[in-house]
Structure 1
Amino acid sequence: MLTATMAMSHAGAQTPTTEPAAPAPTAVRSSPAYPEPYIPPALRKPLRDYSSGPILLRYQAMQKLKKRFDEADQDGSGMLTRDEARKAGLGFVDKNFEHIDTGQKGKVSFDDLKAYLIQRREEARSR
């Protein structure tokens, strides 16, 4: 019975109606809902140039440090020992190894190094 009811309701949905379709309402707006995407160059506002800002400089420095960290990681473990840092010439990591290695594992990850650098920056700002 349920199947018959569903079939009849489905069939009724496909039956064309004899009522004329109501015209779609037209709305008059003072400005379009979506503005024209093209703006001529003469009318464009100049974008702020972040190419030399401090955020970009920090990002670039962090990318260079990450590259040096990965190159220093001789065994590919994603961690540096103090010896690996020393051999790679990462003196900052070597000198501050105990502070970076908060878990006293004998190895530091790049995330450990970033956390230490952020902590140092925050300490310097609070002075």
Structure 2
Amino acid sequence: MLAAAVACSCARAQAPQTQPDMAAPAMMSAPLHPDPYIPPAMRKPPRDGASGPVLQYQAMQKLKKRFEEADLDGSGSLSREEAHKAGLGFIEKNFDHIDTAQRGVVNFEDLKAFIIQRREEARSR
């Protein structure tokens, strides 16, 4: 029995003594931003309840995804018919304004330029 007590005390003495790591709690806490893949400049919360850069970025990504899904022929652009079939009424309704080059199709860059132009017009009113 004495041998067992000595063995236990020796094992305890050989076990490395660890001190609490002060950095561990900080590392275990939740990330500062729920989506670390959003660029840092866009992580700031919106001011005064207005839609901030993060919301605009997320909305643009969703729109891009819908645009790509609506592009049935994989050309990178939408015809008026593709926009109609996909239920993209905004594009269909404003097609002539978005298609400034009058090609009969609009690409995502055309759509972004149109949205930015409309946003600037709304801000200047």
Common fold by TM > 0.5? yes
1:27-66 matched pairs, under 5 angstroms? 50=43, 52-53=45-46, 54-66=52-64
The amino acid across from 1:83 in the alignment is E
TM-score (norm 1): 0.61
Say which of 76, 79, 85 aligns to 1:78.
76
Alignment length (residue pairs): 84
Matched residues, percent identical? Answer: 66
TM-score (norm 2): 0.62
Where does structure 1 lack aligned partners over 5 or more consecutive residues?
1-37, 42-46
1:1-127 matched pairs, under 5 angstroms? 50=43, 52-53=45-46, 54-127=52-125
Higher helix share: 2
Moved over 6 A (4+): none
The amino acid across from 2:105 in the alignment is K
SS of match in other structure, 1:65? helix
Where does structure 2 lack aligned partners over 5 or more consecutive residues?
1-22, 27-31, 35-42, 47-51
RMSD: 2.2
SS of match in other structure, 2:119? helix
Q: Deviations over 1:71-107 (max 9, x none)?
A: 0000000000000000000000000000000000000
